[in-house]
Amino acid sequence: MTNSVSAELIYQNYAVIGEGSLWDPENERLYWVDIMRNQVYAFDPKNNSNLGYDVKENVGTVVLREKGGLMLALKNGFASLDLETGEVEKIADPESDIPNNRFNDGKCDPQGRFWAGTMAYDSKKGAGSLYCLETDHSVSLKIKNVTISNGLIWNQSQTVFYYIDSRACSVDAYEYQAGTGAISNRRTVKSFPENGTVPDGMAIDENDFLWVAMYRGGKVLRIHPQSGETVFEVEIPGARQITSCAFGGKNLDELYITSAGQKLSEEEWKEQPNAGGLFRIKVPFKGVPSSKYKG
């Protein structure tokens, strides 16, 4: 029997698409985004405040930058955000010729490169790709023919890259070459039934187990990295469109979880009054610090 616990709503922002949760251990706050409202948020758990930065275009995810500030994956490519001035500086747009696409989820690899993927606004099959912003600001293409580029993470030994294309309804793994960032030999870790519930954002704990947010599933699953077995579940009360998760807190044993309220009917809002909120729960596992962009 899978152990199951329930998260707590800690901030109701009614996000259209809350996403991109990222813990900053130095400042002890959580960064996250509302993609469609063009907002990057800094949530401070000490006083439950949620400061917003308007970045003027749809924003898929956020990562820490080693030299300070944040890096973003925007509708129109990779950019930096100065947290003091709110200034956004564009760096590279690999899909400037594809106006109907936007960037979605992303993370930094252990070597400090920023990986993020794209999708079409209408979720057209195969319209997206996964890219890597190198530390010299050049961009390399990693995976083509993606429909909804989503969760991605690396294991502790830096030998495996895990990736989710939500429409494929699976968590896949690639062999990863740390020095070059090359990926190869794709295999499926876990397939999900095509019943409307799809895997979305992803985190990893210190034991290399994967934590997968289930969109329309109202849960985050802890999955064995080899067998794909679900060994632990976090249920999200009053929200089903679960989008991302990140370990935070002083000991990295608190799981922060984002959700979305997009396209809910009046009846669905009655069933999901916490949709678009930010959630948290202390779990009997610890995460690992997020890597920073080194460019």
Q: Which of 105, 109, 165, 200 is catalytic?
A: 200
Position 158, amino acid: Q
Query: SS3 for 233?
Result: strand
Bridge partners of 78, per DSSP, are: 73, 92
In this structure, what DSSP letter does residue 293 have? B
Residue 208 is a catalytic residue = no
User: What is the distance between the alpha carbons of residues 293 and 65, in angstroms, rounded to a whole number?
Assistant: 5
Give the residue among 44, 70, 8 at the shortest CA–CA distance from 274.
8
Give the number of other Cβ atoms within 10 Å of residue 64's Cβ: 21
User: What is the distance between the alpha carbons of residues 270 and 279, in angstroms, rounded to a whole number?
Assistant: 18
Give me the sign of the Cα torsion angle 153, 230, 175, 253.
positive
Going by C-beta distance under 8 Å and a sequence separation of 6 or more, which residues neighbour residue 267?
none
DSSP string, 6-54: E-EEEEE---SBEEEEEEETTTTEEEEEEGGGTEEEEEETTTTEEEEEE
Give the number of other Cβ atoms within 10 Å of residue 55's Cβ: 22
User: What is the distance between the alpha carbons of residues 58 and 279, in angstroms, rounded to a whole number?
Assistant: 22
Half-sphere exposure of 156 (CA within 13 A, CB side): 12
Going by C-beta distance under 8 Å and a sequence separation of 6 or more, which residues neighbour residue 85?
none
Please list the active-site residues: 200
